[in-house]
Amino acid sequence: MSKILINELLEHNKKLNNIKNNIEENLNRIFNNPNMAEIKKLENLYDDYILLVSPSIDNKDNFFQNKYNVKMCSTKIKLGVSFDIEYLKKIVEKINWLNEYIGKIAEEEPQEANDLYDEIIVPNASIIYYKICELSYDTREYNNIIKYANDILWLTPYNINNIKEYITQDNLGNLYLYFAEALFYKGNFDNAIKYYDKAIDTNPKCIEKYLKKATSLFKIKDYKNTEDIYYKLLNPSNKFEIQDYKCQIYINLCKMYIEIKDIDKAKHFIQNLKDISNKSSNEMKEILFLQARVYDMENCYDEAIINYKKISLIEPQNSMNNIYLGTCLVKSGNTDGYNYIKKGISAQLSKLSINNIPSSLYIYRPINEKSIALIHGRYLTFSDPKDFNDPLDSRYCLEQVQEKEIKKVLSDIKIRCFSSGENSEPLNTLMWAHYAENHTGIAIEYEFLSDFVNQINTEFFFNSVNYSQTLVHNMQLIEFQDYVKAFYTKDLYWQYENEYRLLTFKDKLENGYKLNNCIKLKSITFGYKANNEYKKIIKDIVVDNKCLLYEIIIPNMQISPFKLKRKLIDI
């Protein structure tokens, strides 16, 4: 190599190292004192570095780039810049790479690895993980909260104060709150209550955290501890600043006493509520609703109906008001009440329903006369939930609701179940075993017609199934805000089904179970052991429908991981 080239290379490396050192110094400085003007300068400097660095970078440069991106992200978060959660998850991948790299250093330089861990991983991961939890709390993505809250709490298990330095005492309290809510939703009640208490400990005068804990205790019917929290907040000697929360506390106490049928106490707090109410529309609606519920429980249906109708003038689309209004009308002898109940139930289903519908939905079936009829007729059939193979499926909706009038409407709901594909293909081994007679059957692939999709959220309702450790705990409130959620909830054991459901009322179906003109038949996949005669029969039925035919094949058993495959067939 010529002397000129060597000098150019040395000058290039010197310039590159100067820029890297400059970036390192400024990264640490702006992390402690974030400033957007300084951030912009640093981003320009990093652009200069990218122009100089070789495309084939080594681990040290990879470490530098990942560290820069992680630190810059956490600095911007501290400054208040908003980020998309998917972008933050990509930054987490860089944190994981850094962590793994530091782990390799630890084999030879344990002290250097510890210093890097405390300098890079703890502060930046704390901030970024917390932001993911915060965003996930707003969208109720509880799995994210549980994962990243756990990650934060394990960053420095020996000293939680290290984390407080980066996410603040208030944010730590919020983190405990988010974690508690997520654990509660997943049915882990004991740990949820423990983290509610931790949230309260971080700020013992934060009333919102007490209210959250009380609401959660109410959901699991721990009425004694629920009552104790509200009375503690109301006790003047405890010096809580409850002026802005008094109405909500009275409302919640009323709901609890109505739930446990302590009518006298409910009336007492309704009167307290009237005395302090500012007569806003929301507060008037709550008072009317609580009064109506008390009248209802005392069998004073005319008075209850008057209150429910007043609420309808304020909020005509209130689903629970329509349900209870309808119930009272039926009890008073007016069968038109069933229309109100159905309207309220439909509103709840619509709130759960989604528009993002997969383009491929599968039904695994044995090959029999019913399957042949489905393929030939291109229609869907719906089932009664009480006939499902899981005795717990939808049981709350069908058996645990006390009001027979509401139960009558719920019993008219029919369901069509689908499975989503793995990479848009029907390769679910357990589904073939359980629903397609051990690979002798078929998987039918459907797509909803566009005209039918326009009816979803109005007359038909579509969503994926939520798999949960608990099936009913979040449905036992006086408002019953989710009478219908159990239709979309199954035990964790059923996760392998990757299930979606289409719901409607039986009066929307032919003979109460059949729906025409709603789907396009896209493909049929035959099980590995399907009979060739059946394959020929089905081919003759679909030959003019542009329906693709596949069969399952067994791949090379020596290749890991083992997965089913399918191929096009020409019979």
Half-sphere exposure of 167 (CA within 13 A, CB side): 28
Residue 446 lies in a domain: yes
Burial of 264 (0-12, 13-18, 19+ CB in 10 A): exposed
Segment 52-71 mean pLDDT = 85
pLDDT at 476: 42
pLDDT score of 200 more than 70: yes
How many domains is the chain built from? 1
pLDDT score of 138 more than 70: yes
Residue 10 lies in a domain: no
Pairing of strands 548-553, 461-464: unpaired
Distances from the Cα of 438 to the Cαs of 50, 443, 464, in angstroms? 56, 12, 25
Are the CB atoms for 512 and 412 separated by under 8 Å?
no
**Distance of alpha carbon 139 from alpha carbon 153, whole angstroms:** 22
pLDDT score of 397 more than 80: no
Domain residues for the domain of 500 are 353-568
pLDDT score of 1 more than 60: no
φ, ψ for residue 426, nearest 5 deg: -85, 80
Residue 494 lies in a domain: yes
Residue 492 lies in a domain: yes
pLDDT at 4: 61
Listed residue (271, 410, 309) closest to 301, CA to CA: 309
CB atoms within 10 A of CB 46: 20
Give the model's confidence band at 474: pLDDT under 50 very low, under 70 low, under 90 confident, else very high. very low
For 459, the token pair is 């007359």
- pTM score, two decimals? 0.72
pLDDT at 160: 65
Segment 284-290 mean pLDDT = 92
Give the model's confidence band at 364: pLDDT under 50 very low, under 70 low, under 90 confident, else very high. very high
Q: Which residues contact 266 (CB under 8 A, 6 or more apart)?
A: 254, 257, 258, 290, 294
Average pLDDT score over the chain: 88
pLDDT score of 263 more than 50: yes
**Distance of alpha carbon 171 from alpha carbon 188, whole angstroms:** 22
Residue 74 lies in a domain: no
Distances from the Cα of 139 to the Cαs of 2, 143, 172, 182, 228, in angstroms? 62, 11, 19, 12, 30
Residue 231 lies in a domain: no
What is the Cα Rg of the chain in Å? 30
More confident residue, 55 or 190: 190
pLDDT tens-digit readout, 88-104: 999 999 999 999 999 88
- Mapping DSSP to helix (H, G, I), strand (E, B) and coil, where does residue 384 land? coil
pLDDT score of 497 more than 50: yes
Residue 168 lies in a domain: no
Nearest-10 crossing angle of helices 122-139, 142-153: 160
pLDDT tens-digit readout, 300-309: 999 999 999 9
DSSP state of 411: T
Residue 448 lies in a domain: yes
Question: What letter represents residue 26's amino acid?
Answer: N
